[in-house]
Chains A and B, each alone.
Chain A
Amino acid sequence: MDDFQTGEETAFVVDEVSNIVKESVENTIGGNAYQHNKVNQWTSNIVEQALNSLTKLSKPFKYIVTAVIMQKNGAGLHTASSCYWDNSTDGSCTVRWENKTMYCIVSVFGLAI
C-alpha cells in the first residue's frame, strides 16, 4: 500500500497538464469580457474543471490548482513561487491566458504520492 508500482508514467507531464488547464480556461471565460459579478464563478469553475480533468488522468498525484483573474486596468502584477520537492517526479505548470479585458493565470502543482 505504501510502495507504489512504477508501471506507468509517474513524472509530472507539463504539456498534458498545460493543455488541460488551457481547455478549462477557454471553456469558462473564452470570449467573455471581465464582469465583476461573474468572476467568482469563473475562478471556481476553472479550478474545478481543471482539477476534475486532472483527477481523471488517474495518476498517483496530489494536485494543487490556483487561478487568478485580473482585470486589465493598467496595474502590474508580479508573483513568484518555488517548491521544495522531488524534482524528478513532482512538477508545476503555470498557464497565462489573456483577452482584451482580463488576464487569467492558473498554476497547477503536482506532487507524486
Chain B
Amino acid sequence: MLSRKEELERKKAKLQAMRDEKKKKEGDRVRKKEEVETLEGHKDVRAETDQLLKDLGLTTVDKPKPTAVQPPIDGSQPVSSSAASTGSQDSGDAAQLSACPSPRRIGRLGLSKVTQTNILPKEQVTYTKQTQTPSETIDNKQGGSLDYYDEPYVHHAFEWEDEFHEGCSFDSEFSYEEGDMSLPETPPILKHHHLPHVEPVKPAEGSNDEPPAEEEVVPPRELSEEEQQQVMKSEEFARFFERASKVVERALCEDSDILKDYAGSSDNEGEGEKDTGARLSLNRTFFDERWSKHRCVTSMDWSTQYPELLVTSYNQNGDATHEPEGVVVVWNQKFKKTTPEYVFHCQSAVMSATFAKFHPNLVIGGTYSGQIVVWDNRLNKRTPVQRSPLSAAAHTHPVYCVNVVGSQNAHNLVSVSTDGKFCTWSLDMLSQPQESMELQHKQTKAVAVTCMCFPYGDVNNFIVGSEEGLVYTACRHGSKTGVLDMFEGHQSPVTGIDCHLAQGQVDFSHLFVTSSFDWTVKLWSQKDNRPLYSFEDNGDYVYDVRWSPIHPALFATVDGMGRLDLWNLNTDTEVPVASINMEDGAALNHVRWSQSGHQLAVGDDMGKVSIYDVGEQVAVPKNDEWSRLVHTLQELKNNQADAEDVTSTSNTGSPMPIR
C-alpha cells in the first residue's frame, strides 16, 4: 500500500517535472524564435527594402523599419506596408503588398428602393355548355316535300311539333282543294289550277317560272259564299295571302322589275331635303299611319344577315289605349313600298329591340315591365313567341339594353335594367335567366343603367352609362365580376354610349363616346378616368351617339332640337363636319349606322324613322385616318395636360409634371 502511494506520488512529481520542463522549453523556444524572428525579419526587411529602393533608384534608409510581427508560420514573407505606400506594386517581388485604401472618394452607400414590374396574367375564363349542337344536323333537308321551311337555316330549338305538321296536315284540313296549293314559300303567282287533288310541292328555290304543266286543267268552279269564307279564314290561306300581298305590294310600288336592287337616292317619297355639299341627304322615311303614329321611337337595330332590314321599337301610343302598348316594326329598305315588312306587338312598351345576331328570324325586345320578349318572323303571329316571366329572378325594371354577344355556338342574350340588374339568358329558354348579377358600385349602391355597350370583340367586359351621369366598366366572368372602374365627367344622365368599332391598322377599342342630358358628348379612353375630350356644340339634350363602323374618327350624334351631327375627329374637334336639322322640329331619339357605314337611320319622337345617306367623302375613311387619329388623340391629351397645367399653376403656383 505504501509503496503504491509512493509510486503514485513519484509519478505525479515526475509528470509535473516533465510539464514544467516542457513549458520551459517552449518558452525558451518562443523567445528564441522571437529573437530570431525579429533579427531575421529585420535583416530580411532591410535587405529587401534596400533592394527595392535601389531598384527604384531611391536612397536607402538606415533605420530599420519596424515590421509587424508575423505569426510564426513563414518568416520569408514579411509584409511591409510602408514600403508599399511609396507607390507601385512590384510584381516580380515576392513580397505581397497589402491593398491600400482606395484613393477614390467613397460616397455614402445605401439601399435603393425596390423597382418592381408586374404584368398580370390574362384571366382565362372558361365555361361549359352542355347543349351545343353541331350545325350539320340541321342540314337534313333534301327538299322533303312535306317540310316547312321559311329560311335555309332552322334552329333546332324551334322545331316545334306543329311546324312540321303544318306542311303535311293541310290536305286533311282542306275540304276544298284549291288546286296547286303551294306553300307560302313558293312564289305566289296566282295560279288557279283547280286540280282534283293536292300535289305537295317542294319549297321552291326561286324557280317561279316553272310551267305547272302535266295535270289536266279543270275549268274553274264557282265558290259558294260559305266556302269562300271558309277558305279565307283558314290559316294556310292567311299565310299565303300575307306572303303574296307583300310581293304584290312591292311589285305595284316599283315601276321597274321587282327583282332589281334599289339604286339611286334621288327618288323618294316625301321630303327631299338636300344638305349643302350632299354630305348628309335624306334618303327616305319610314312611317306607318297605324303603328307609328303618336309613338316615340325607342330603339333601332339593323339586321346583320340582311343589311336592308331595320327593326324599330316604339313605345305606347298615348292616344289609342286599346292598341297594344309595345310595337316593334321591321322595315325593309330595299324596296320602295312604304308599308312595314313585319309588325309585332306586345303588352308592354318596348324600350329596346334587336335582331338576334345568330338567329335571322328572331327579334328580341326588352320592355318597360322588365320582360324580355322574343318574336319569330316565320310564324304569322304578331305576339311574342317567348316571354320571360315577371319575377324577381328576372328584371323588375324597364330594360333599356338588350344585346346578343358571343359567337355562333356560344352566345347569350344579355340584358340590363334600370335597377342595375344584369341578366344573361339563353335564347332557348327565357323562363329564367342563366345568370344574373347586380351591378353595384363600391358603395353598394345599384347602378341605374340607361345604356350599355360591349367593346369590339369583347364578350366579357362592357361599359354602362347610368342615370347619375357616371360611366362604369364592368366584367361578366372572371375573378372580378361586377363593376370595376368609374368614369366621371357628365353631370346628368348618360343617354348613349358607344365603343369604337372601325377596325384598322391601329387598335382603338379602348375609346368610347358618351352622350348625356348635359348637352355634351364626351370622348373617353378606358385607360383614363377623365374624359379625353368634351364636344360642346349642342344646344339641347343629346340623345344618342354612334361610331361609324368603317371610319375610325367619325361618329354621329342626335339631339333634342332635331339636329343630326356628324363629327370627324381628324378634321375638327370643335364643330361637326356635317349637320342637318329635321324640318318638323321633332326631337331625334336614336341614331344607328347601317352596316355599310354609308347610311344613318334616325328615329324621332313622332314615330318617324328617317334614313340619311352620308356622302362618300365623309363616310369613307382614307388610308391615313388611323394614324391621323393617333396624332389627334395625342394632341387632345397634350391639350388636356396643358389645360390642367394652366389651372394648377394659377391655383397653386407650382407646376405639375406634364405626363
- A contact set with B: CB distance below 8 Å: 2-3, 15, 31, 70, 72-92, 94, 96, 99-100, 103, 105, 107, 112
Minimum C-beta distance from B180 to chain A (A): 60
B108 lies within 8 A of A3 (CB): no
A84 lies within 8 A of B110 (CB): yes
B124 contacts chain A at the CB level, 8 A cutoff: yes
Minimum C-beta distance from B440 to chain A (A): 28
Q: Which residues of A contact B121 (CB under 8 A)?
A: 74-76
Minimum C-beta distance from B112 to chain A (A): 4
Chain B contact residues: helix, strand, loop or mixed:
loop
Enumerate B175-200 residues with CB–CB distance to A below 8 Å. Answer: none
B114 contacts chain A at the CB level, 8 A cutoff: yes
Proximity string of chain B (125-159) to chain A, C-beta cutoff 8 Å, 1 when within and 0 when not: 00000000000000000000000000000000000
Q: Which residues of B contact A2 (CB under 8 A)?
A: 103-105
Interface size grouping (class) on chain B: 20 to 34
Report, nearest first, the 10 A-B pairs whose CB atoms are least far apart: A76-B121, A74-B122, A86-B107, A77-B119, A83-B112, A82-B114, A80-B116, A79-B117, A100-B507, A87-B110
- B contact set with A: CB distance below 8 Å: 103-105, 107-122, 124, 505-507, 657
Whose C-beta in chain B lies nearest to the C-beta of A93?
B115
Minimum C-beta distance from B507 to chain A (A): 5
Q: Which residues of A contact B108 (CB under 8 A)?
A: 86, 88
Q: Which residues of A contact B116 (CB under 8 A)?
A: 78-81
Q: What are 29 inter-chain pairs, A to B, with CB distance below 8 A?
A: A2-B103, A73-B122, A74-B124, A76-B118, A76-B119, A76-B120, A76-B121, A77-B117, A78-B116, A78-B117, A80-B114, A80-B115, A80-B117, A81-B116, A82-B111, A83-B111, A83-B112, A84-B109, A84-B110, A85-B110, A86-B107, A86-B108, A88-B108, A89-B107, A90-B112, A92-B112, A92-B115, A107-B115, A107-B117
Q: Which residues of A contact B105 (CB under 8 A)?
A: 2-3
Known: A79-B117, A89-B107, A96-B117. Contact between A84 and B112, CB under 8 A? yes
Whose C-beta in chain B lies nearest to the C-beta of A82?
B114
Q: Which residues of A contact B120 (CB under 8 A)?
A: 76
Q: Which residues of B contact A79 (CB under 8 A)?
A: 116-118
Whose C-beta in chain B lies nearest to the C-beta of A75?
B121
Q: Which residues of A contact B506 (CB under 8 A)?
A: 31
In the assembled complex, the Cα of A13 lies from the Cα of B638 at a distance in Å of 23
Whose C-beta in chain A lies nearest to the C-beta of B658?
A15
In the assembled complex, the Cα of A92 lies from the Cα of B523 at a distance in Å of 36
Q: Which residues of A contact B657 (CB under 8 A)?
A: 15
In the assembled complex, the Cα of A81 lies from the Cα of B114 at a distance in Å of 5
In the assembled complex, the Cα of A27 lies from the Cα of B506 at a distance in Å of 16
Minimum C-beta distance from B658 to chain A (A): 10
Among B109, B110, B112, B114, max chain A CB count under 10 A is at B112
Minimum C-beta distance from A17 to chain B (A): 13
Minimum C-beta distance from B509 to chain A (A): 9
Q: Which residues of B contact A15 (CB under 8 A)?
A: 657
Q: Which residues of B contact A92 (CB under 8 A)?
A: 112, 115
Among B114, B115, B120, B507, max chain A CB count under 10 A is at B115
Q: Which residues of B contact A80 (CB under 8 A)?
A: 114-117
Minimum C-beta distance from B59 to chain A (A): 29
Q: Which residues of A contact B104 (CB under 8 A)?
A: 2
Whose C-beta in chain A lies nearest to the C-beta of B117?
A79
In the assembled complex, the Cα of A16 lies from the Cα of B122 at a distance in Å of 32
Whose C-beta in chain B lies nearest to the C-beta of A95?
B117
Q: Determine which of B112, B118, B119, B505 lies in contact with A82 in the assembled complex, contact meaning CB atoms within 8 Å.
A: B112
Whose C-beta in chain B lies nearest to the C-beta of A88?
B107
B109 lies within 8 A of A86 (CB): yes
Minimum C-beta distance from B19 to chain A (A): 55
In the assembled complex, the Cα of A15 lies from the Cα of B110 at a distance in Å of 22
Q: Determine which of A84, A100, A105 lies in contact with B111 in the assembled complex, contact meaning CB atoms within 8 Å.
A: A84
Whose C-beta in chain A lies nearest to the C-beta of B112?
A83
Q: A85-B110, A89-B107 are in contact. List 13 more A-B contacts (CB 8 A).
A: A2-B104, A3-B105, A74-B121, A75-B122, A76-B118, A76-B121, A78-B116, A80-B115, A86-B108, A86-B109, A94-B115, A96-B117, A107-B117
Minimum C-beta distance from B124 to chain A (A): 7
In the assembled complex, the Cα of A22 lies from the Cα of B263 at a distance in Å of 52
Minimum C-beta distance from B122 to chain A (A): 4
Minimum C-beta distance from A107 to chain B (A): 7
Q: Which residues of B contact A74 (CB under 8 A)?
A: 121-122, 124
Q: Which residues of B contact A85 (CB under 8 A)?
A: 109-110, 112
Q: Which residues of B contact A86 (CB under 8 A)?
A: 107-110
Q: Which residues of B contact A77 (CB under 8 A)?
A: 117-119
In the assembled complex, the Cα of A70 lies from the Cα of B122 at a distance in Å of 13
Minimum C-beta distance from A113 to chain B (A): 10
Minimum C-beta distance from A90 to chain B (A): 7
In the assembled complex, the Cα of A99 lies from the Cα of B103 at a distance in Å of 49
Q: Which residues of A contact B122 (CB under 8 A)?
A: 72-75
Minimum C-beta distance from B628 to chain A (A): 14
In the assembled complex, the Cα of A46 lies from the Cα of B507 at a distance in Å of 23
Q: Which residues of A contact B118 (CB under 8 A)?
A: 76-79
Whose C-beta in chain B lies nearest to the C-beta of A77?
B119
Q: Which residues of B contact A70 (CB under 8 A)?
A: 119
Whose C-beta in chain A lies nearest to the C-beta of B630?
A31
Q: Which residues of A contact B109 (CB under 8 A)?
A: 84-86
In the assembled complex, the Cα of A83 lies from the Cα of B112 at a distance in Å of 5
Whose C-beta in chain B lies nearest to the C-beta of A113?
B104
Q: Which residues of A contact B103 (CB under 8 A)?
A: 2
A103 lies within 8 A of B119 (CB): yes
In the assembled complex, the Cα of A84 lies from the Cα of B110 at a distance in Å of 5
